[in-house]
Amino acid sequence: MNAETRGAGWFSALDDLVTRVETAAWELRGFAERATGAWRTLAEDWDELARDGAALGRELGRWPARSARLARAGWLLAQVAGSYRFHAIRSAFLGADAARAADASLHARNARRFRDGSMRHGGAFLKVGQMLSARPDLLPEAWVSELAALQDAVSPVPFEAVRAIVEAELGAPLEARFARFDTEPLAAASIAQVHRARARDGRELAVKVQRPGVGALVELDLDLLAIFVESLRSMLPSADYETIVAEVRARVSAELDFEAEGRVMDALAEHFAAHPAIRVPRRVPALCSERVLTSEFAAGRRITAALDAWRLARDAGDADAGRRIDETLGLALEAYARQILDAGVFQADPHPGNLLVGEGGELVLLDFGCACEMAPATRDRYLALVLASFAGDTARVAALLAELGFATRSGRPDTLLHFAEALLGSLRAAAQGGGMPWLDEREIAAQARALLAAVTDDPVVRIPDEFVMLARIFGTLGGLFQHYRPRIDFARHMAPVLGALA
């Protein structure tokens, strides 16, 4: 692509952003005109007038904040998109080494811009930034490193706002519903925060409360982020970005639906009820609503805190600490295998804050706002895919990938087989050799180069919806395994799952 073409693309992208902003402004004007017409038409019916007037007031009350956010967040994304477009033009006049150095500098600068903007704006910006921090397969290292800071970057909502939401949702003063309600949150996230409480019958509880006004912010942010991806699409590796953006939109929006989250929690609590070492807290329906989700309180340490302590002890010669690492990560692998291949519904946000290690060594799964359900036929195909990979049946693997909805530009399966090997090769080796093999940095780099070469030669142009979330799980768990290097007892944690389902 020559400099003139790149320049045209840059101006086209920025023009698209401006057009979208103008569209939002015209939407406001159109709403005002429609509201005025409705006001005149319904003037004779006072009851309807009062209702429409209240709705008009609420909508217009949101627009100043929406317009300010649109301007601030839109400018942030325009800066990032524009800098990459300008860089594409500039790179045409640089040597290879200078272009690589400029790439690294630009990635670092834009990653800091996005990180800082996500911290300021919150909402879907922060949530998407947290999701991207666990995707080194999609982003340069500078982005992953900078966005990692977003995992613990949320400021809590003041307690009086929390009290107001809980009392409005549950229809009574806080003291009438709870024997105790802690004013300081246990955790604060982009969509909600969690407070510890005690029920009037003495049970210890965790109360998840949605942040005030977050729904409108998320809707606007996701629109802006979709525009941003589209404006940079010509500069990104070939991929099925429509599916990726649609799935991210669906999953982030789903985190606002506490009733759906409660149903997933119920299903998985029941699914693991008989398991001796994997637990999901049970919901307390009488203390739940559209914006409040109350469940049993689960005590435990964040999984990475436990693993870090045990790794230090293991490296100092403590064999028992090494066994604890092996057992904990074995349980994590088993927990997700059982959810995906057996339950058909899985928690799709396995970051360290959502995985606890209990006093007895049990693994506790938390936070089901980001979850994915699969039809039985889809679940069965993924199980068959795992079994075919273990058997080394590449023809069957290729056929199953096509049945699931994967496709390359050429229609050949080579790139898909590279992906399948990257995802399932270590598991197959563990099944055959009794332990999870670990690659050194050179081997990882070689594997990444081979995969990148395959993608460049014949890109994946379509992926199934659920795989966006599955890849998130593979990426997060794979990072934990590679970092702590456990010796997973595959026969104990995985063979019963696969054997029972095969």
List the catalytic residues.
Answer: 349
The dihedral formed by the CA atoms of 268, 209, 182 and 198, expressed in degrees to the nearest 10? -40
| 3-class state of residue 190 by DSSP | coil
**How many Cα atoms within 13 Å fall on the side-chain side of residue 46?**
0
The number of beta carbons lying within 10 Å of the beta carbon of residue 237 is 11
* Nearest partner of 222 among 244, 252, 242, judged by Cα: 252
User: How far apart are alpha carbons 26 and 20 in whole angstroms?
Assistant: 10
How far is the C-alpha of 417 from the C-alpha of 413, rounded, in Å? 6
Of 261, 267, 280, which Cα lies nearest the Cα of 364? 280
From CA 261, how far away is CA 206, in angstroms rounded? 14
Q: Measured between alpha carbons, how far is residue 192 from residues 123, 124, 330, 369, 424 in Å?
A: 10, 12, 30, 10, 35
CA distances from 160 to 11, 13, 164, 189 (A): 47, 43, 6, 17
Chain centroid to CA 23:
29
Cα–Cα distance measured from residue 389 to residue 355, given in angstroms and rounded to the nearest whole number: 28
The amino acid at 273? A
Q: Phi/psi at 272 (nearest 5 deg)?
A: -100, 10
Q: CA nearest 129: which of 143, 108, 109?
A: 143
- In terms of Cβ atoms closer than 10 Å to its own Cβ (0-12, 13-18, 19+), residue 68 is exposed
CA 468 to CA 241: how far, in whole Å?
10
Are 342 and 497 in contact, with CB atoms under 8 Å apart? yes
Sign of the CA dihedral with 79 first, then 80, 83, and 85 last = negative
CA dihedral 364, 369, 374, 376 (to 10 degrees): 60
